Amino acid sequence: MTHERINAYRIMWLIVFFDLPVVKAAERKKATKFRNDLLKDGFAMLQYSVYIRHCASRESADVHIKRVRSFVPDKGCVTIMTITDKQYGDIINLWGKKTPPVQKSPAQLEFF
């Protein structure tokens, strides 16, 4: 029996970027539903149109990618990027002098 060691190169982060039309009331409703669906699937807002989610493995990431595909609105652009935990750790966030920095998220573990 082989055990695959969990490391910073196996753990994945999903980043969903989107640009959805919000001119008409129906478009705003669809965009809001899309954002709420992302939140229900465990994503967190990084910026207004950028959401992130931690996944314990590539297989888990694939499941969530499939879910995001299932609730993409019929108009607009949605981009999904996967990066390793090691790459995510190299992200640099810069804030203006008047914008307080976002608190660092606690480490997360998944047991399934």
| pLDDT digit string (tens) for the chain, length 112 residues | 444 555 666 889 999 999 999 999 999 999 999 999 999 999 999 999 999 999 999 999 999 999 999 999 999 999 999 999 889 989 888 877 776 666 676 666 666 5
DSSP string, the chain: ---PPP-TTTSEEEEEEEE---SSHHHHHHHHHHHHHHHHTT-EEEETTEEEEEESSHHHHHHHHHHHHHT--SSSEEEEEEEEHHHHTT------TTSPPPPPPPP-----
What pLDDT, on the 0 to 100 scale, is given for residue 108? Answer: 67
The CATH number, out of the four listed (3.40.50.970, 3.30.70.240, 3.40.50.150, 3.40.50.880), of the domain defined by the range 12-87: 3.30.70.240
Quick check: pTM over 0.85? no
What pLDDT, on the 0 to 100 scale, is given for residue 1? Answer: 43
